[in-house]
Amino acid sequence: MTSISAGRRRFRPTLWPTVVSVLVVGLFLGLGVWQLQRLAQKEALIAKLDASRALPATELPAKIDDPEAWRYRTVSATGQFRHADEIHIVAYTADAELGYQIVTPLVRADGTTVLVNRGWVPTEKADPTTRPEGQVSGTVTVTGMARPGWPQGYFVPDNVPAKNIWFWGDLAAMAQAAHAPDALPLFVEADASPNPGGLPKGGQSVLNIRNDHLQYAITWFVLAVAVGTIYFLYHYRPEPAQKG
């Protein structure tokens, strides 16, 4: 008696492993395609922001209906600071030093108000009397980056307006606290031009838009291929030996 099919292999799929593998591979491929779509969206956003940043500084108008259209634009505003109503936003430097970003209403000649993020000060300089040189008077022109308010993130504490301690950019509430309820619906984050006395330290705007979607897409596609390969190898089995 001799074996006539020993050593031969044949692809013989089974029901439930096939169903599960098709669902998993389909899910991974869908996630990979979704990440490619997100990649295209993120690249378009970065290109738009780069184009906005490349524009020359524009004087803010008296009225802004769409603050998103001004996001990350280089803008300027001329007026007088009302230092008595400054706002303190808890913030860290790149070196993890705790302090505050100082947001001060700037009253313009036409009567409109802009909330200007003048920059960062350490905690021991939160009291404006400790940095009198920086409380500039008279008419000034501020150049910086326009930015709408931002929502409260996960694990971010609530703002405490009564103590002038703010953790997130509730612009409307800040405008109320600064006695400027009709302020323009965006901040101006001042550039790095030095203030008298060195404080606040401007130029705190950080544009670091992560774009890892290509790596994520590749990961999902590799996982799909891996599952498909395992499925194939599992079902590519030797044929039972037949004796004759």
211 in a structural domain: no
9 in a structural domain: no
pTM of the full predicted structure? 0.72
19 in a structural domain: no
Contacts of 34 (CB under 8 A, 6+ apart): none
Residue pLDDT, tens place only, 9-68: 787 888 888 999 999 999 999 999 999 999 999 888 888 777 777 778 889 999 999 998
Structural domains counted in the chain: 1
Residue indicated by tokens 């634009």: 73
Residue 164 structural domain:
59-198
CATH classification at residue 85: 2.40.50
* pLDDT of 240 over the 80 cut: no
Q: Are 83 and 140 in contact (CB under 8 A)?
A: no
194 in a structural domain: yes
25 in a structural domain: no
Residue pLDDT, tens place only, 182-218: 999 999 999 999 999 999 998 877 666 778 899 999 9
Query: To the nearest 10°, the Cα dihedral for 177, 57, 77, 167?
Result: 10
- Of residues 30 and 6, which shows the higher confidence score? 30
Q: Is 109 helix (H, G, I), strand (E, B) or coil?
A: coil
155 in a structural domain: yes
- What is the per-residue pLDDT for 206? 67
185 in a structural domain: yes
Q: What is the DSSP letter of 12?
A: -
